Structure 1
């Protein structure tokens, strides 16, 4: 399966060689297939979206499967609370073709994954699952915060984490972390010096409905076309409802006919004739 897609060692060599890595967050097979056709290096796919169809669509892209912090639902693969839960989920998605696994859980959980040779991607800076402690803001703009950020990165490196989502940190702090850690810094709003540049497809294609982040860049604006299609969908549904109410649907061409003699025979049989 996809013997041409890169491995962790290939991604590490890209950093060593100074090659910038492109990375997108995708949620549909169509987005994954487009990323593969465009030659995007890495994809981030949440576990709830990742299945055999998504792996097929992702082609030769290196896929990071997101293991969400805390329980997501009651299935074995997604109800994540303990190190064993995370490990079971990682093995499950490895069988489906996941190449590495995002994990923003505690150090002991990350260590369990690393000890079992699972490629782990940690998180530093603005961490959405911990947002109550920081608020929605850049992290690392003071010397004390930057030092805490560095210590967090160092700790993950000692555990065996191979890459880190580095989100919304000052560009020169991103530069320092990228240059002084062997881990791959997957920058999202971390400046041009990060090892990778990571964006959400909804921002790249302009159809995101949430707040557009400072680091987001719209390369195509799909929003008007998506709205046009939604308006046409609503109009079609209204016409269907009207046809049902007026009796104009289904018409003759939408129904199966029965010959008169067969209908008569059926009625006679039902009447005991």
Structure 2
């Protein structure tokens, strides 16, 4: 059954947990979709885990459209949510609506996500008026790492926690259908989840959120540069891939691959004629 923003709303009302993972290509999106994931986030995290940047700030609209289009082809039932990259919406309300529209029209996303609290509410309101569903993102917002001084837990003191709570309420009022809450103390995640009527999707925000999201390379141990505390490794896929690559290299160099079962044949008569050419 196709997941939509209504699916998110009903899940919160029925106390059903929402599942979301990042995806950046067709084949991975297809596997996740077939597994039954509720939503696929084409995150600007692709800058780090796919494109090899040090952070998410260099990701462009063209990058996001390209990868969102690929994920959308693989997602039959999952809701595809596309990140708006750095400086695609901060500059003006007009830019925000235009770029959100591109992710829907060209990328074929079902919704967009943008980072920030009260300061981006005018953009959210305008995008929602354009009939585009918006997912918010507060707490640790990677596009603001320079302002935060790095990847640090947010909302640890009362003043900071109050700011995040106010931002969550502002996003709700602006028309966001859900909010990603990243890297905050679990009690704060619980409080916001209970205080807000729209779904709260946690990543490092505790078990009481309405749902969870992870970067799939993290949960499969495919990206070793950063291992956040909130990541659970579900399978050592990175290690398995590394071993498979090494085995392939060794077999090719030793002449053990390909074997006869991996090769195509022809008749002895045809072989003889080949050597008569």
TM-score where L is the length of structure 1: 0.77
Mapped pair 1:194 → 2:212: no
Decide which moves more: 163-172 or 218-227. 218-227
> Which residue pairs with 2:125 in the alignment?
111
CA–CA distance in 2 between the matches of 1:86 and 1:225? 41
In the other structure, the counterpart of 1:121 is 135
Alignment partner of 1:9 out of 6, 11, 14: 6
Paired position in structure 1 for 2:74 = 57
Relative to structure 1, the CA distance from residue 40 to residue 238 in structure 2 (aligned partners, 3 Å threshold; closer, same or farther) is: same
Structure 2's unaligned 5+ residue stretches are 44-63, 255-273
| Alpha-carbon spacing, 1:232–1:126, altered in 2? closer, same or farther (3 Å) | same
Q: Which has the higher contact order (CA 8 A, sep 6+)?
A: 2
CA 1:113–1:233 in structure 2 vs 1: closer, same or farther (change >3 Å)?
Answer: farther
Q: Unaligned stretches of 5+ in structure 1?
A: 72-78, 240-256, 261-273
1:41-95 superposed Cα distances (whole Å, 9 cap, x missing partner): 11101424111x4212111001111111225xxxxxxx98433333223223323
Larger radius of gyration: 1
Give, in angstroms, the shift of residue 201 of structure 1.
0.8
Q: 1:50 to 1:236 in 2, by over 3 A?
A: farther
CA distance in 2, matches of 1:93, 1:232: 40
Indicate the SS of the match to 1:70. Answer: coil
Mapped to 2, the partners of 1:54 and 1:160 lie a distance apart of 25
1:248 corresponds in structure 2 to: none
1:62-101 paired onto structure 2 within 5 Å: 62-70=79-87, 81-95=91-105, 96-101=107-112
Q: Is 2:34 aligned against 1:20?
A: no
Change (3 A) 1:233 1:184: same
Kindly state the Cα deviation for residue 22 of structure 1 after the two structures are TM-superposed: 0.8
Q: Judging changes above 3 Å, is the alpha-carbon distance between structure 1 residues 14 and 236 closer, same or farther for their aligned structure 2 residues?
A: same
**1:156 alignment partner, SS class:** helix
Q: With the length of structure 2 as denominator, give the TM-score of the two structures.
A: 0.76
Alignment partners' CA distance in 2, 1:238 and 1:175: 55
The aligned residue for residue 138 of structure 1 is: 153
Q: CA RMSD in A?
A: 2.6
Q: How many residues align?
A: 234
Alignment check: 8 A CA contact 1:171 1:190 kept: yes
Distance 1:233 1:183 in 2: 49
Tell me, yes or no, if the aligned pair for 1:31 and 1:201 is still in contact at 8 Å: no
Distance in structure 2 (CA, Å) of the matches to 1:113 and 1:146: 27
